[in-house]
Structure 1
Amino acid sequence: MEQCRFCKLYSFGSELSNRAPTFDMDLSDFMDGDKPISYEKAKEYFSQDPSQKWAAYVAGTVLVLMTELGVQFTDSMSILVSSSVPEGKGVSSSASVEVATMSAIAAVYGLNIAPRDLAILCQKVENHIVGAPCGVMDQMTSACGEANKLLAMVCQPAEVKELVSIPTHIRFWGLDSGIRHSVGGTDYGSVRVGTYMGRKMIKCAASDLISQSFPSTPTQSCDASEEYEKYGVDLLKSEASLQYLCNLPPHRYEAAYARDIPEFITGDEFMEKYGDHNDAVTVIDPKRSYSVKAPTRHPIYENFRVEAFKALLTAAKTDEQLSALGELMYQCHYSYNACGLGSDGTDRLVNLVQEIQHRKTTSQHEGPSLFGAKITGGGSGGSVCVIGKNSLKSSEEIFEIQKRYKAATGYLPIVFEGSSPGAGKFGYLKIRWRSA
């Protein structure tokens, strides 16, 4: 008779949400004969009781380790979850729990998993077991981040380019709107579908332009020659095999593709013309209308904004530098809103930052201390990030925004400040029990 192996989860702070404080399961529930169960079955397993769906973020790491690395768990385990990262605020609470749990399990069982690889494994937990079609940025930050530095990365699938130190004269704050955020919501998923639709349209358009460059009849030769000179076949070939929209420069998007990307398209129309959208974690609803133009445009321009932000961050210490950094953040915020991922609360906070910034700009006595703001995380609520001078005056203005927001909404925003190392840098603490 096989010995039972239990997985017991305990969650501090459950009284502040609708989740149950404990979750118990037999690890044999993760097995289908001599193989781990599918991620789809695991997703159904954790979705049976809404009050216990939180366990998917924690116990899901066990199944991913079994499936992806072939780890065999022969003993029972108890996991206590205690986190100071607020839930539903758009500040990576789910990623931090996944990364912390998997890091602890890896330490206990002697698994040597590089921080980057651990982040990718945790993304699988969120995508396939929790059912949230998120990217890997939050997991990468939780695993690979360092205190007082910004993480410059490319998600292809996940590579750290460099860690950029935050200059001492610049300061960042997070302000919580009080509107709960979830990347598992339908809005985030539909925006992702629209993004993948746009990528497929661009690839098909590039293929069509290539075919025009090789005329089959004499009457086409003049037009084809013009197309060839305008675009270049080699460039079009690379765009026809485009894997990531952020690799398409904004000028190429505007020159060759922007005019043909529709604002909206129904699932039926898209599948009839283009087939599948080639995304492993979302499904097209044939009857639904999807926004395409804004979700397609966002990653193309956002990549440019991020690169510009990184370059400006280490530039001269002037108000012009801060103004340019703030402008990039504003552009990001409104681009995200255009995708349908904004909210009244986050817009109100960004508007308050703008009001204070421009009030100071028009003052004859002093310039602004705050320079920009943007929504964070997956959007549809959550928090905004604010950039400003590292000064007493900017802190006073953040407090003013808190008071004005509360006066308008009745909710006093939580302020997030500072940073800490990710799991890869922090490591782990191991407690050894001694018998009396």
Structure 2
Amino acid sequence: MNQPEIAKKVARVYTENWGGEPLLARSPGRVNIIGEHTDYNDGFVLPAAIDKAVYVAAGRRNDDRIELKAVEFNDSYSTSLDAIAPREGQWTNYILGVVDQFRKRGHQLGGFNLVIDGDIPFGAGLSSSAAVECATAFALSELFGLNVPREELIRVAQKAEHEFAGVLCGIMDQFASMFGKKDHVVRLDCRSMDYQYVPLRLDGYKLLLLNTNVKHSLSSSEYNVRRQQCEAGVDMVRQKYPEVKSLRDVTVPMLDECVRDTDELVYRRCKYVVEESERLLEGCADLERGDLTALGMKMFRTHRGLSDEYEVSCPELDFLVNAVRENDAVLGARMMGGGFGGCTINIVREDAIDALVNELAPKYKEATGLELTPIIAGIEEGTSRL
């Protein structure tokens, strides 16, 4: 089903249940070209919004009820504004967490009906959760005339994930979903929130995502552990360099001096992040020159760091990256997202994609027992009203 059809579907489901014409909004998933696990360390990231999105249809009610429907899950949920609370492992957290944040910030909401659907594969590392949060935040701001700036909406979405979903995510996913620009990546400084658009000229290549179909069984808990390890490394460095605020301020020589002999595991975690930040800035220069080959080499190196040093990969992700490493049609590949499943992102010559997938899918099935799902990702605009 293409995106306009999904938009029509959520509108139809809304009207069938509550009548009237709903407000329609969409918010996309994202890819991240390079710069993984740098966002919550005040570093840089290089994401882009993609042509897979979450759609919501929303309308106001005359009472304080919140009525939610998720088309894909064939599930409904009803509560009131004063009774919203997290529900462990439930899709409603990403919506109700946004409502909670609006109210904590003093924004006046009433009751509403909302239908949600989309075509971002869940658990694929494409930030479906951020897309749900951003679509909801944007739609509710529009619906109740709140006029909340996009910069605040992404903070609302991020805090919703922290407090209702229990994932201490950085700001990248929400920022990319809200601020994406067609055919551009966003170089985002996660400390200052300064950003600039960098053209992504693929010229005969495409971004191919290979979904392992492995779900993130460890991602939330281990993600939070990685944050704690990075913070522990910063604390060690700060004892000698009190001006250091985050890994953004740390160099490898500082880690060698202050961390390596104290905690080898924390050292490896922090060293990956520091080097990844340097790789990203060099990768931006590659894009400015149109040198996709150099960028692709950095992607392979990033994967090695994520697998061996940060240890957030898994056998299925490693299999897919190693399988394309010697393929002349593939400029670069790495795991993408929080880890322990999801997709690899590959820069592949357009005319070689079908042959690559046809060769790889049976090998992957034999090695893992899982199906391989290819996704070609186009680069699209961020959150919008339809």
Distance 1:255 1:145 in 2: 37
Q: Is residue 2:378 matched to residue 1:407?
A: no
Is the CA contact 1:195–1:292 (under 8 Å) kept in the aligned structure 2? yes
Is the CA contact 1:322–1:388 (under 8 Å) kept in the aligned structure 2? no
Fraction of identical pairs, as percent: 25
Match of 1:310 in 2: 284
Match of 1:216 in 2: none
Structure-2 change in CA distance of 1:182 and 1:66 (3 Å): farther
TM-score by length of 2: 0.78
Q: CA deviation at 1:350?
A: 0.5
Q: CA deviation at 1:182?
A: 6.0
Q: Is residue 2:227 matched to residue 1:192?
A: yes
Match of 1:243 in 2: 245
Structure-2 change in CA distance of 1:66 and 1:249 (3 Å): same
Match of 2:51 in 1: none
1:334 corresponds to which of 297, 304, 312:
304
Distance 2:219 2:362 in 1: 31
TM-score by length of 1: 0.69
Is the CA contact 1:370–1:394 (under 8 Å) kept in the aligned structure 2? no
Distance 1:186 1:333 in 2: 21
Q: Is residue 2:182 matched to residue 1:147?
A: yes
Secondary structure of the corresponding residue to residue 296 of structure 1: helix
Superposition map of 1:35-184 within 5 A = 42-43=85-86, 46-47=87-88, 50=89, 53-68=90-105, 70-73=106-109, 75-156=110-191, 158-181=193-216
CA shift digits 1:290-330 (9 cap, x unpaired):
x41222112211111111111112325xxxx4442222111
Superposition map of 1:206-355 within 5 A = 206=241, 240-250=242-252, 252-253=253-254, 256-257=257-258, 259-263=260-264, 291-315=265-289, 321-337=291-307, 338-354=309-325
Distance 1:174 1:144 in 2: 21
Secondary structure of the corresponding residue to residue 227 of structure 2: helix
Distance 1:158 1:127 in 2: 19
Structure-2 change in CA distance of 1:403 and 1:146 (3 Å): farther
Amino acid at match of 1:428: R
Amino acid at match of 1:9: L
Structure-2 change in CA distance of 1:24 and 1:58 (3 Å): same
Is the CA contact 1:95–1:138 (under 8 Å) kept in the aligned structure 2? yes
Is the CA contact 2:260–2:267 (under 8 Å) kept in the aligned structure 1? no
Residues matched between the structures, number: 323
Runs of 4+ in 1 over 6 A off after TM superposition: none
Distance 2:131 2:354 in 1: 27
Match of 1:210 in 2: none
Is the CA contact 1:182–1:378 (under 8 Å) kept in the aligned structure 2? no
CA shift digits 1:389-409 (9 cap, x unpaired):
3x3124422442233212322
CA RMSD across the alignment: 2.1
Structure-2 change in CA distance of 1:261 and 1:139 (3 Å): farther
Higher strand share: 2
Match of 2:27 in 1: none
Secondary structure of the corresponding residue to residue 135 of structure 1: coil
Match of 2:337 in 1: 377
Amino acid at match of 2:163: H
Distance 1:123 1:157 in 2: 16
Secondary structure of the corresponding residue to residue 289 of structure 2: coil
Q: CA deviation at 1:171?
A: 2.3
